C-alpha cells in the first residue's frame, strides 16, 4: 500500500499564510527543525516531490559570477578574503572597465551560461559608480542573458536606477541566522540586510538572497537561516546556498584550520538544500560556493534535493570553482541538461504584468 508523505503538523494554531502563488510564508522554526530531523531518505523524497511539482528535474541553470571590483571592502565579514580586515593577500582593485565586463559576459554566454552575476566588494556603491554599473547591466541584457548584481547596501535611488536599467536580480545574502549573524559580521546589522532586500523588492527587482553554511554554526542556526528567508512577505526568487570555502587569513578560515570538525558534513549540507526547497518551493535554489570540494555524489544528491542552478567557470569572485569541462562531464553522467526556459517566479511576475 502506498503511503502519501505529509509535512510536519503546524505548531501554531493560526491560519496558514500563503502568497498569491499558494506558497506558505508562515513556516515556524519548529516545522523547519522537524524537516531537518526527518530520516535522510524521507527528507530527500519530500524535497524531490516539491521540486518536481514546480521545476523540471532534469534541468539545471548555468550561471557565471564575475568580480567587477575586488578587495578593499571595509566590512569585517569573517568569511571574506576581500575584507580589509583579512590577511588573505587579496589586493584591492578599481571597478572594471565596462567593455572588459561585457567581454567576460560574452565568453560566459558562449560557454553556455544563461545568467551573468556581477559582484563588487563595496559596503555600498558610490553614486559616481552608478553610470558604469548601469552600462554593464544594459550591455549584458542586450546579449540575452539574465543579469544579477551584488554591490552591498543600496539607497532607494540606487535601487530605482538599477530597476530602470532592467536588472533582473539583486543579490544580498543574509549569511546566517539572526542569532549567529553578529558573530560573523559587526559592521552591518542583520536588519540592514533585510532593509536592502525591501528596497530591492520595492523597486521591482527580483530578490536573490541566501547564505553560507559550514561557518561553525549549529543546526539550529541553519534552521533560523531558512526560517528568515521562508517567512519573508514574498520568498526570494533566488536562494543561493553556499558551503564555506575556508581561506587562510580570514577569521573563519583560520578558525576552521584549528577546529576542522566545525566544517559542515555533506549530508547536513544536502539537508539544508532540501529544507530550502520544501519551504521555498518556487524559488531557484542555487548550489553556489564550495562545489569544488564536493564529490560528484554529493552534488547529485543536492540536485535530487532541489538545487537547480550552479555557478560554472573556474572562479567565483576570489575562490576556485569546478570549471566548465568538469560540469559538462558531470551533467552527461547524471543525464542533466542546461536550463533554457524561464524561472517559475519570474514567469509568474511577467504574466501578471502582461509581459
Q: Domains in the chain, start-ordered, CATH in brackets?
A: 29-349 (3.20.20.70)
In residues, how long is the chain? Answer: 355
Give the three cell numbers for residue 84: 580589509
Residue 320 has pLDDT above 50, yes or no: no
Give the three cell numbers for residue 102: 561585457
Give the three cell numbers for residue 149: 548584481
Give per-residue pLDDT as tens, 97-143: 999 999 999 999 998 889 999 999 898 899 999 999 999 999 999 99
Q: What is the pLDDT of residue 207?
A: 96
Give the three cell numbers for residue 234: 514574498
Region 232-248: mean pLDDT is: 92
Among 61-75, 125-139, 258-272, 285-299, the least confident range:
258-272
Using CA atoms, how far apart are residues 113 and 61, in angstroms rounded to an integer? 8
- pLDDT band at 18, cuts 50/70/90? low
Count of CA atoms in the C-beta half-sphere (13 A) of 50:
30
CB 180 within 8 A of CB 224: yes
pTM above 0.85, yes or no: yes
Cα 200 to the center of its chain, rounded Å: 15
Q: What percent of the chain has pLDDT above 70?
A: 86
Which residue(s) pair with 242 in the sheet? 212
- Spatial CB neighbours of 117, under 8 Å, sequence gap ≥ 6: 63, 64, 65, 66, 147, 148, 149, 150, 169, 171, 311
- Residues marked active site are found at 73, 77, 80, 117, 148, 208, 286
Q: What percent of the chain has pLDDT above 90?
A: 65
Amino acid at each position: 500500500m502506498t503511503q502519501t508523505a505529509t509535512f510536519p503538523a503546524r505548531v501554531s494554531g493560526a491560519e496558514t499564510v500563503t502568497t498569491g502563488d499558494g506558497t506558505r510564508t508562515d513556516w515556524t522554526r519548529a516545522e523547519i527543525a522537524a524537516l531537518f530531523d526527518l530520516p535522510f531518505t524521507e527528507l530527500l523524497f519530500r524535497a524531490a516531490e516539491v521540486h518536481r511539482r514546480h521545476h523540471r528535474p532534469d534541468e539545471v541553470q548555468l550561471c557565471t559570477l564575475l568580480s567587477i571590483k575586488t578587495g578593499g571592502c571595509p566590512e569585517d565579514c569573517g568569511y571574506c578574503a576581500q575584507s580589509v580586515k583579512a590577511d588573505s593577500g587579496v589586493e584591492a582593485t578599481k571597478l572594471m572597465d565596462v567593455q572588459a565586463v561585457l567581454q567576460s559576459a560574452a565568453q560566459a554566454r558562449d560557454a553556455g551560461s544563461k545568467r551573468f552575476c556581477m559582484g563588487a566588494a563595496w559596503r555600498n556603491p558610490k553614486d559616481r559608480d552608478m553610470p558604469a554599473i548601469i552600462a554593464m547591466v544594459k550591455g549584458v541584457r542586450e546579449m540575452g542573458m539574465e543579469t544579477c548584481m551584488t554591490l552591498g547596501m543600496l539607497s532607494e535611488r540606487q535601487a530605482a536606477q538599477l530597476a530602470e536599467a532592467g536588472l533582473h536580480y539583486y543579490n544580498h545574502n543574509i549569511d546566517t541566522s539572526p542569532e549567529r549573524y553578529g558573530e560573523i559580521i559587526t559592521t552591518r546589522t542583520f536588519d540592514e540586510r533585510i532593509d536592502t532586500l525591501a528596497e530591492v523588492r520595492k523597486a521591482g527587482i527580483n530578490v536573490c538572497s541566501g547564505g553560507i553554511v559550514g561557518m561553525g554554526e549549529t543546526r539550529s542556526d541553519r534552521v533560523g537561516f531558512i526560517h528568515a528567508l521562508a517567512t519573508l512577505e514574498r520568498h526570494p526568487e533566488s536562494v543561493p546556498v553556499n558551503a564555506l570555502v575556508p581561506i587562510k587569513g580570514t577569521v573563519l578560515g583560520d578558525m576552521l584550520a584549528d577546529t576542522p570538525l566545525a566544517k559542515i558534513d555533506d549530508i547536513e549540507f544536502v539537508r539544508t538544500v532540501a529544507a530550502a526547497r520544501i519551504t521555498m518551493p518556487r524559488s531557484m535554489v542555487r548550489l553556489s560556493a564550495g562545489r569544488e570540494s564536493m564529490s560528484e555524489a554529493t552534488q547529485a544528491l543536492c540536485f535530487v534535493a532541489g538545487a537547480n542552478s550552479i555557478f560554472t567557470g573556474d572562479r567565483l569572485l576570489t575562490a576556485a570553482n569546478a570549471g566548465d569541462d568538469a560540469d559538462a562531464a558531470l551533467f552527461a553522467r547524471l543525464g542533466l541538461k542546461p536550463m533554457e526556459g524561464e524561472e517559475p517566479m519570474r514567469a509568474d511576475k511577467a504574466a501578471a504584468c502582461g509581459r
